[in-house]
Amino acid sequence: MSQSHFLPIFASLCLIATTACTTATRQDAPSAPAHRTAQERYTVTQLGFGETAHFGLCLPPACPQATPKHAASLDTAKQDNADAAIARRDHADNTIQPHGAAPVTALSVYFEAGRSLLDAASRRAIDALVAGLSVRSLKIAARTDSTGTPAQNDRVARDRATAVARYLRTQLGLSGVPVDVDARPLCCYVATNADADGRRLNRRVDIALVGAHRTGAP
């Protein structure tokens, strides 16, 4: 067979070999990684706490998760709503006190950052706490979170204490009851200040009704 007859056969073999190499290269090449947000699934979760709570999207594992200690703090806050105040009021007469000690009924109300305004939920809780009770004296302890300057926190703590004392005296008929006010900023935290939920639990006024008993009871 002449050399001219081998040329087409040789060209065909080269073409087949080139195609096979190209195919193998394409099969072995790794695919480009997809964008992370396309691979992960967003989760709807609750953000914030109480009246400021809302729902939004987060990407695990960055979603907020309550630790056992934090969850206990949140449970404590939930107990300090109007229903809990009613329960404490209803059971106050059955509370066992040391001999000679006056029974104490307590409630905590919470505030927005930098604010001293009593919102509607706080007023309802205080109303339920005091309703039908006669008290010997009041104790009011105003607290803040750790944000802001000491001067700012001192002012807002005093303003919160004043707002609660004024409401008790003018709206609930306790104007003649002695009031012990402790407005102390940047202390006495009940939760972490590292997140918004914890800071909200620390922005509070603790109210204690000393010697509380039902009106008409001995």
Q: Are residues 125 and 154 in the same domain?
A: yes
Q: Dump pLDDT digits (tens) for 61-92.
A: 445 555 554 555 555 555 444 444 444 444 34
CATH of the domain at 154: 3.30.1330.60
Helix (H, G, I), strand (E, B) or coil at 71: helix
**Strands, DSSP E only, in the chain?**
43-47, 54-58, 104-110, 133-134, 137-142, 179-183, 204-210, 213-214
Q: Dump pLDDT digits (tens) for 26-51.
A: 444 443 333 333 333 445 455 455 55
Residue percentage of the chain with pLDDT more than 90: 43
Check residues 103 and 211 and name the one with the higher pLDDT.
211
Rounded to whole angstroms, how far apart are CA atoms 158 and 177? 19
Check residues 71 and 202 and name the one with the higher pLDDT.
202
Q: Are residues 39 and 103 in the same domain?
A: no
What is the DSSP code (8-state) at residue 108? Answer: E
pLDDT of res. 188: 94
Q: Which of 27, 50, 65 lies at the terminal end of a domain, its last residue?
A: 65
Residue 95 has pLDDT above 80, yes or no: no
Q: Are residues 46 and 95 in the same domain?
A: no
Q: Which of 14, 44, 65 lies at the terminal end of a domain, its last residue?
A: 65
Nearest to 65 by CA among 50, 43, 84, 80: 43
pLDDT of res. 61: 47
Q: Dump pLDDT digits (tens) for 144-185.
A: 999 999 999 999 999 999 999 999 998 888 888 999 999 999
Crossing angle for the helix pair 120-130 and 82-91, to the nearest 10 degrees: 10
Respond yes or no on whether the N-terminal peptide bond of residue 60 is cis (omega within 30° of 0): no
Q: Is the dihedral of CA 27, 30, 33, 39 positive or negative?
A: positive
Rounded to whole angstroms, how far apart are CA atoms 111 and 49? 12
Please give the span between the terminal C-alpha atoms of the chain, in angstroms, as a whole number.
130
Residues 93-117: what's their mean pLDDT? Answer: 73
pLDDT of res. 172: 85
Rounded to whole angstroms, how far apart are CA atoms 91 and 78? 18
Helix (H, G, I), strand (E, B) or coil at 191: coil
pLDDT of res. 46: 55
pLDDT of res. 175: 87
Residue 196 has pLDDT above 60, yes or no: yes
Query: Which position has the token pair 């700012």?
Result: 152
pLDDT of res. 179: 94
Q: Are residues 157 and 71 in the same domain?
A: yes
Query: Which position has the token pair 């209803």?
Result: 90
- Residue 20 belongs to some domain of the structure: no
**Strands, DSSP E only, in 68-216?**
104-110, 133-134, 137-142, 179-183, 204-210, 213-214
Q: Are residues 48 and 113 in the same domain?
A: no
Average pLDDT of the chain?
A: 71
Q: Are residues 52 and 72 in the same domain?
A: no
Query: What residue numbers bound the domain in which 80 lies?
Result: 67-214
How many domains, the chain? 2
Q: What would you report as the CA-atom Rg of the chain, rounded to the nearest whole angstrom?
A: 34
